[in-house]
């Protein structure tokens, strides 16, 4: 019944023309039942797979090409399962897993995730924007949107016991949702979260920090140093953070990244603010930059079947405006190129960058959906 309905999707003519011109069969957007759902098992929970299967009353099919991934029928809801609540599994698309897996993260890598926060359901977005919610409410809001922070969690899982992930996003409330997920999955020890413009972000990883620098010795000095992150903050600390946010908003032009979370092994503990925000010149980035960079750029999402199906409710004219409007797609292309260029600038020599997007319409400069490029010392300009 459902299939019959969705196969009648009244895709706008211009979109159908675009798909056909690019050899894509418009009927792919009719598929609903055939698209499986995916989960990733937290490392260390492998032995519990049968328990998860019996609780969900379905067989989890191992995805051979993506370690830790399982597919399940799309009518199974994982949000209420015990395994999800206990942080043993998280929902993540296979395509997202593929982008992270292509980074080939190994222990000790310093990774930059330049557009780290997810685009959420509009209802959740508007709640988060108020920044006036209780922690429990935020947790619930984020839980109903199952894929929040999934790429970030996966990257941190792959790191193991060394290295770091620096996650950047221009949207404060969405990045705050990622912070909640890191706390839920206890994955954030090696992570820093910065609200910043990824086209201008300039901080390199903290490579030579001493994890053991004690807060005690740090506090002997005259200036303030970062102490271990506490998720439950005192009233004074919350007030100070709110003041810092206000100042950041006032000093927009000064474009300083705002640190909204750091793990105890991220290298931040013990640093002063000046040390944290220290930048290096482009030639030094060749040795001090990131080993891996993911640019999961802002896009129109027209490559996502599930996203296009949502226009059935939002109205097809909205698709015209959001996906096909030349002015919007042009400005998006400029943004994507700037993000890509800066991500590449921040790579160290020999590092890898993955560019991923679920955009297929728009400027032909981005003909490929994923771009992988190796940087060597002579190949610095993009």
Ligand X SMILES: C[S@@+](CC[C@H](N)C(=O)[O-])C[C@H]1O[C@@H](n2cnc3c(N)ncnc32)[C@H](O)[C@@H]1O
Options 37, 42, 88, 151; binder of ligand X; rule CB under 6 A: 151
- For the CB of residue 119, give the shortest distance to ligand X in the complex, in Å: 5
Options 168, 181, 182, 269; binder of ligand X; rule CB under 6 A: 168
Q: Which of 176, 167, 169, 183 is nearest to 130 (CA)?
A: 176
Query: In the structure encoding, which two tokens stand for residue 212, read together?
Result: 């053991």
- For the CB of residue 149, give the shortest distance to ligand X in the complex, in Å: 7
Q: Which of 206, 232, 227 is nearest to 216 (CA)?
A: 227
Mark the segment that binds ligand X (CB under 6 A) among 15-23, 194-202, 217-225, 319-327: 194-202
Query: Are 176 and 137 contacting, i.e. CB atoms less than 8 angstroms apart?
Result: no
| DSSP states of 208-257 | S--TT--HHHHHTSSS-B-----SS--HHHHHHHHHHHHHHHHTGGG---
Options 115, 155, 265, 286; binder of ligand X; rule CB under 6 A: 115
- For the CB of residue 152, give the shortest distance to ligand X in the complex, in Å: 7
Q: Which of 319, 335, 226 is nearest to 270 (CA)?
A: 226
Pairing of β 164-169 and β 191-195: parallel
**CA-CA distance, 175 to 135, in Å (whole number)?**
14
Q: Which of 123, 143, 129 is nearest to 184 (CA)?
A: 143
Options 197, 258, 325, 363; binder of ligand X; rule CB under 6 A: 197
Size of the site for ligand X (CB under 6 A): 19
Nearer Cβ to ligand X, position 94 or 335?
335
- For the CB of residue 298, give the shortest distance to ligand X in the complex, in Å: 4
Residue 325 is assigned to a ligand binding site: no
| Residue 298 within binding range of ligand X, rule CB under 6 A | yes
| Residue 296 within binding range of ligand X, rule CB under 6 A | yes
| Residue 76 within binding range of ligand X, rule CB under 6 A | no
Mark the segment that binds ligand X (CB under 6 A) among 10-18, 104-112, 165-173, 374-382: 165-173
Options 83, 89, 116, 154; binder of ligand X; rule CB under 6 A: 116
Reply yes or no on whether 299 is catalytic.
no
Pairing of β 370-374 and β 347-356: antiparallel
**CA-CA distance, 332 to 119, in Å (whole number)?**
15
Q: Which residue's structure tokens are 């429990």?
A: 136
Residues that bind ligand X (CB under 6 A): 96, 115-119, 151, 168-171, 174, 197-199, 296, 298-299, 335
Catalytic residue list: 358
Q: Which residues are annotated as a binding site for S-adenosyl-L-methionine?
A: 296
């Amino acid at each position: 019944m459902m299939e019959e309905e969705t196969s009648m999707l009244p895709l706008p003519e211009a979109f159908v023309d675009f798909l056909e011109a690019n050899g894509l069969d418009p009927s792919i957007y009719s598929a609903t039942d055939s698209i499986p759902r995916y989960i990733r098992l937290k490392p260390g929970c492998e032995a519990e797979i049968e328990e998860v299967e019996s609780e969900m009353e379905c067989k989890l099919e191992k995805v051979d090409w993506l370690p830790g991934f399982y597919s399940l029928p799309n009518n199974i809801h994982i949000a209420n399962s015990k395994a999800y609540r206990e942080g043993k599994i998280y929902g993540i698309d296979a395509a997202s897993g593929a982008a992270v897996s292509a980074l080939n993260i190994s222990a000790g890598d310093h990774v930059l995730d330049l557009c780290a926060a997810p685009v959420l359901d509009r209802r959740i977005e508007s709640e988060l924007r108020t920044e006036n919610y209780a922690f429990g409410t935020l947790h619930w809001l984020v839980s109903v949107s199952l894929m929040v922070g999934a790429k970030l969690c996966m990257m941190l899982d792959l790191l193991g016991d060394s290295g770091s992930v620096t996650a950047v996003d221009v949207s404060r409330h969405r990045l705050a949702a990622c912070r909640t997920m890191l706390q839920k999955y206890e994955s954030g020890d090696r992570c820093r979260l910065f609200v910043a413009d990824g086209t201008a972000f300039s901080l390199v990883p903290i490579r030579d920090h001493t994890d053991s620098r004690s807060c005690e010795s740090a506090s002997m000095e005259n200036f303030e140093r970062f102490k271990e992150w506490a998720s439950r903050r005192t009233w004074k600390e919350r007030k100070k953070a709110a003041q810092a946010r206000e100042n950041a908003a006032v000093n927009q032009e000064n474009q300083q990244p705002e640190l909204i979370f750091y793990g105890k092994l991220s290298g931040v503990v013990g640093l002063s603010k000046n040390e944290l925000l220290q930048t290096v010149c482009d030639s030094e980035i060749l040795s001090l930059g990131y080993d891996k960079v993911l640019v999961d750029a802002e896009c129109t999402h027209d490559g996502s079947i599930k996203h296009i199906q949502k226009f059935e409710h939002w109205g097809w004219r909205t698709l015209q405006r959001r996906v096909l409007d030349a002015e919007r797609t042009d400005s998006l292309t400029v943004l994507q190129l700037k993000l890509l260029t800066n991500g590449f600038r921040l790579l160290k020599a020999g590092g890898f960058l993955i560019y991923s997007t679920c955009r297929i319409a728009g400027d032909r400069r981005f003909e490929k959906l994923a771009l992988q490029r190796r940087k060597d010392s002579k190949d610095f300009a993009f």
